[in-house]
A and B are shown apart, each in its own frame.
Chain A
């Protein structure tokens, strides 16, 4: 793999994780919802889009929209039982919901159309890449990068507009406790549900982009670990700041991918290296929470 190819790959990953990070930032950074199941939206987006395109033979754009709608609906449904609860319950309930989604796709192989060695733990391959035939093998990643960047920009604009609107002011007040928004006559529960649905649909968008780029998905790719990597992005980059969330995705992915080459310089096994990388991410979260609560780019405090 040449350097240019690798950089394009890295940029595509940054775009996809940037969307995931923006989505979690809307939920955690702005609204204070401890969503420990972000990977569920990612997984749903990937699977739904794959099913729409591969099983129902529909164009990519319908897969994309389908993935967003289903992931958004999932966010809506899982937040109904939890909407009035404290953050500890949110954390464990969303974590559990994400595992249910993964276990569902692990057990139900028929959802991807059936066939031998397809679905379930085998995963599913041969996911078509949009407009692949128009490009050569070399130029295609550049085109895909353009798609990802357009989606990232779209997500940024929507979430940024949302957080600056009156809606954004309400959710920021929810973060500080239920009393103030309730005193102003705002239905806290509805706002939480809306945030989970909107954030969830963007998580689904990232999942679609991921599935169609790699051409292969399996339940193993959607372990809770992914959620925690996205958390590290939001915390390091700066919660409640959308540019911070994207910066966090960029930094964590550079860290994650650059350590891969470490094994060329020092004798260390791949498994050990992978573990040490996650130790570093865990410690990074702890250190950031201890000494740098605001993250790299601080939230803009606005006076109204």
Chain B
């Protein structure tokens, strides 16, 4: 694999992770709990899109958009039914509840659609092949959607009333409420935005690989890792974290660690030393633990009390 190819794969992965980690981080920012059901919501969206696309024969683009919005709306319903009753509870109680919810969602999907791998119906696309790399039109789309999501978030946070209200609620919920900001309304919007983006991210992953009920759980650690890496609660941190993790996952397998140990030929350690592919999922886990050890508040994290 060439260097250019590894860079492209990293950017594609980072774009997918960005869509998921942005949502996780704003839910944490406003509701102050780690939502373990976040990626499972995404899986609901993935299967809704599958239903629209394969069962109803809709084109994948409208299917993905409708499914994502529907899942966003679904998360509002879940919030009203479950999380709204727990606003005053501590983070750990809500977190464990979200874990139970996640188990129910994942297995609900599995009960309806089965445990086998499935695919969307999309026309076969010709990859662009050059001397140094190959990229499919889908991968270009993933990168564009990721970029669009980042720009949309920036615009939302800094150029809309909702964004200002969100930032205010995050900084100081009591003061925000005293300034006539309707916290409940913001929470509703946060769920909708977070889960719509997450669902879109899930669908893009499903398009690039395949669809499994277990896929939400397979990405929960990378998504949390990206979010914590950048500084949990900070959308720009989530983008940066996704980028760092996308590159780390791909370059982790590409780099010959033998050269590093050898310090470029000084030590006479000539053995090739690569991370075995079986350990690819472990890369994000190890990074996560290293981040927690060295800088738990993340790269862009603010130091907070408690």
Interface residues of A (CB under 8 A from B): 32, 34, 36, 78, 81-82, 84-89, 91-93, 95-97, 99-100, 103-104, 106-107, 224-225, 228, 231-232, 235, 271-272, 275-279, 281-286, 289-290, 293
Contacts and interface: CB of A to CB of B under 8 A. Distances in A.
A286 B36 contact: no
Nearest to B213: A275
Nearest to A103: B282
Nearest to A36: B99
Nearest to A177: B306
Contacts of A290: 82, 85-86, 97
Nearest to A228: B103
A-B pairs with lowest CB-CB distance, top 9 = A285-B100, A282-B104, A282-B103, A275-B111, A81-B293, A278-B107, A88-B34, A96-B285, A275-B110
B250 to A, nearest CB: 18
| Majority SS at the chain A contact face | helix
B99 A96 contact: no
Contacts of B102: 282
Contacts of B285: 96-97, 99-100
Contact of A275 (B97, B107, B276, B292): B107
21 contacts: A34-B92, A85-B296, A87-B91, A87-B92, A88-B28, A88-B91, A91-B34, A91-B36, A93-B292, A100-B286, A225-B103, A232-B100, A271-B110, A272-B111, A275-B111, A278-B106, A279-B103, A279-B107, A282-B103, A285-B99, A290-B82
Interface of B: 28, 33-34, 36, 82, 85-86, 91-93, 95-97, 99-108, 110-111, 114-115, 213, 217, 220-221, 224-225, 228, 232, 276, 278-279, 281-282, 284-286, 288-289, 292-293, 296, 306
A281 B103 contact: yes
Contacts of A78: 289
Contacts of B221: 92, 95-96, 99
A278 B281 CA distance: 25
**Most chain B CB atoms below 10 A, which of A96, A100, A279, A284:** A96
A45 B71 CA distance: 41
Contact of A286 (B97, B108, B228, B232): B97
A96 B288 contact: yes
Contact of B93 (A100, A228, A281, A289): A289
B306 A99 contact: no
B103 A99 contact: no
B97 to A, nearest CB: 4
B296 A89 contact: yes
A96 B278 contact: no
Given A92-B228, A107-B278, A286 B101 contact: yes
Contacts of B82: 286, 290
A96 B284 CA distance: 9
B97 A289 contact: yes
Nearest to A280: B104
Contacts of A32: 92
Contacts of A107: 276, 278-279
